[in-house]
Chain A
């Protein structure tokens, strides 16, 4: 078997997948729900939603917070990432200590309100200043460990026994794809035979929700949560914030086959291109989005005609729908393959999205089934693509392009393919 690609690099196989989304825990549960077209979006119950314009989200309820215990986002991120990683590792047959590094896509974390208010209480003052809060923080080592950016990776690395220094990466909504790309590159350049790539997010909390709300990015279709995420549909009104995690165990094909591992698919190509136009919008010429898609296809040694299906970024914001459609037409012309948005069901899992959607893309290839874009009621005449409306369907799928586009002009695309014959 040939274990190098068209550029002479080691082929990067996926030997384990783990998933946590608002649809549930585990690959089997998630995939079944996705093909059934179920939505995981619901009313927020974790905190009061008075005064909020958006009161719905794709929340993941962790057993660790069942008793109403408050967990900071960093802990929610870690717990979801760990569940996904445990599932992926078990499938891969590798055990801790893992023979490679951890590449962790995660959101920026910071001191959150419950912790800040506890510090305020500890000062004994009615209106403490930041200086007083800082003095009250003395000796609270645990507070630092759960708030430092290195904290989540440190605990995960200890659990998984990964090698070297874990890297935490953030490229906004492309983060999960960037984490996979970092792992793929490390294997391609021979730095390691294996890597764990994770994308995780768990930041549905009042302040983050309000921040996205103030950017007018969120759907406010609160009355019917499951119908709120409507990518590529005429009555779309923004994205739905969501949580989750996905983990891919990446291995050089040579390493995986030598130990007799089951190959679930390969990451055949990665492409990226950043935009210099605006902090939250793409250049109207679509240049960066188009280049990212083309770069990934070219990196995979393929042509656009080889792509059987596109796993959309598909957030359901008017801006994304317009730019992604434009990019699709520019790259694929009149023969654009079907494209569907997992986010219509799970919402936008932000830092996790690129990894979750890469995981689903591999399942598309495994089962030769396209998940639908649900909530497709009123077609938008400006969207002429086959968005696999409402119902999953079988298709012959060899190569999937998975798109991730983020704030700050970050565009990352992956090409996922089946195991080499």
Chain B
């Protein structure tokens, strides 16, 4: 095998409540205000809604748009933004694609009508009625819009990305493992470029029903910083499309593409989160596989606002025993589930490219006063998964 190559982030595609694209996110993160919040439509829960998208700009065929539900359109759109940002359209034929996907939208009107029709029936009769209503009511195309791997399928169709294609499932950790595996494949010489990320639409009762069952959602009006939600803990879902273009440094330089940041390492663990195997211990195992520099450190945190993992992350960070400047992606993007980790990596890469961290926003986010050379990205998932990434600024002399 070839010697492990440095891996660069050469493009990011971000769509969130803060807007779309690199510039909108730079402006928003430097302004230091929370993104748009809707706390009435899904009350008692709040969400960060996504911006209106001009889909034709990234998904030119109406037929393709019609074949997708919102989460696939969002992801496909953000993937296209990343390709454009990296100037990597010419690489798609052999580009790896790793998508972190959730489940697809359900037909909620059909579900509600079935629930109402079946309620008064005896079980055997209800089962027969269910078949009848689903066979007559399900749209054939909906299935393909629901299948988790069809976000990747649509990205292949719309953008022509046809190297390796893999779809990871598993909420936040799927996003982290997607970045880890994409970088590891490039580093060992399998391919020269990868597109990696995910898409999450917050405005979905069919997902909120699960997250609320798991006790993951903040149940309160208004907004509070993710690191300061003691009175009403929980995540505020935020619509988020987040894709990264990763390339080997040689390949990027050879085509004259500048890197935003270098990925030094990604490490994933998954604690049982019981007394014997805590989140903080798992994160410490992951950190031991990274080569973090000594001294004060900037942290781009994937904190959710959920009490347990937020406390575990604090314990882990305290254990690093150094001065830290934490910036929570959740304060800028909301909770993007599968897209969270790629979104955090994207914000970190932009910060390193610009040489400055997002403006501090409230408790837990201290000022940072050193040269910004390294960022630790954290991902303490709402339910399961602990992930870390180490990103480093690319010195001017290494750029093409």
Contact = CB atoms under 8 A, between A and B. Distances in A.
A210 B135 contact: yes
B115 A170 contact: no
B52 interface: no
B213 A140 contact: yes
Interface in B140-176: 140, 142-144, 146-150, 152-154, 156-157, 160-171, 173-174, 176
A407 interface: yes
Contacts of A354: none
Given A172-B149, A207-B134, A214 B270 contact: no
A144 B214 contact: yes
A276 B160 contact: yes
A49 B116 contact: no
Most buried by A among B156, B161, B208: B156
Interface residues of B, number: 85
A28 to B, nearest CB: 32
Given A280-B144, A408-B149, A150 B385 contact: yes
Most buried by B among A53, A147, A274, A275: A274
B140 A50 contact: no
Interface string B63-104: 000010000000000000000000000000000010001111
Interface string A197-231: 00000000011001111110000000000000000
B294 interface: no
A150 B383 contact: yes
Contacts of B111: 116, 130
A141 B135 contact: no
A170 B167 contact: yes
Contacts of A106: 169
A137 B210 contact: yes
Contact of B103 (A110, A157, A168, A188): A110
A65 interface: no
Given A51-B128, A117-B118, A189-B184, A214 B140 contact: yes
Contacts, number: 259
Interface in B92-142: 97, 101-104, 106, 108, 111-112, 114-116, 118-120, 124, 126-128, 130-132, 134-135, 138-140, 142
B31 interface: no
A117 B143 CA distance: 21
A139 B210 contact: no
Interface string A149-185: 1100110011000001111111110000010001001
A363 B148 CA distance: 32
Contacts of B188: 188-189
Contact of A48 (B127, B142, B161, B177): B127
A406 B148 CA distance: 13
Given A49-B131, A106-B169, A148-B171, A126 B205 contact: no
Most buried by B among A133, A135, A147, A148: A148
Nearest to B131: A51
Nearest to A9: B1
Interface string B200-228: 00000110111111111000000000000
Contacts of A157: 270
A343 interface: no
Interface string A95-110: 0000000000010111
Given A141-B214, A144-B213, A153 B115 contact: no
B163 A274 contact: yes
A288 B162 contact: yes
A7 B1 contact: yes
7 closest cross-chain pairs (CB), A and B: A408-B153, A144-B214, A127-B116, A130-B205, A165-B270, A149-B169, A137-B213
B164 A274 contact: yes
Contacts of B168: 167-170
A153 B103 CA distance: 16
9 contacts: A7-B1, A119-B209, A139-B213, A149-B148, A150-B384, A168-B169, A171-B152, A279-B150, A410-B152
Contacts of A137: 209-210, 212-213
B208 A134 contact: yes
A172 B270 CA distance: 25
Contact of B156 (A52, A153, A158, A408): A408
A158 to B, nearest CB: 6
Contacts of A171: 149, 152, 165-167
A214 B143 contact: yes
A409 B156 CA distance: 8
Contacts of A109: 103
B384 A206 contact: no
Interface string A284-303: 00001000000000000000
A258 interface: no
A150 B127 contact: no
A243 interface: no
A129 B184 contact: no
A168 B153 contact: no
A332 interface: no
Contact of A279 (B67, B104, B169, B387): B67
A381 interface: no
Contacts of B112: 127-130
A273 interface: yes
A259 interface: no
B103 to A, nearest CB: 5
A86 B127 CA distance: 34
B138 A211 contact: yes
Contacts of B144: 215, 279-280, 407
Given A139-B215, A215-B143, A408-B152, A272 B165 contact: yes
Contacts of A407: 144, 147, 149-150, 153
B212 A170 contact: no
A51 B132 contact: yes
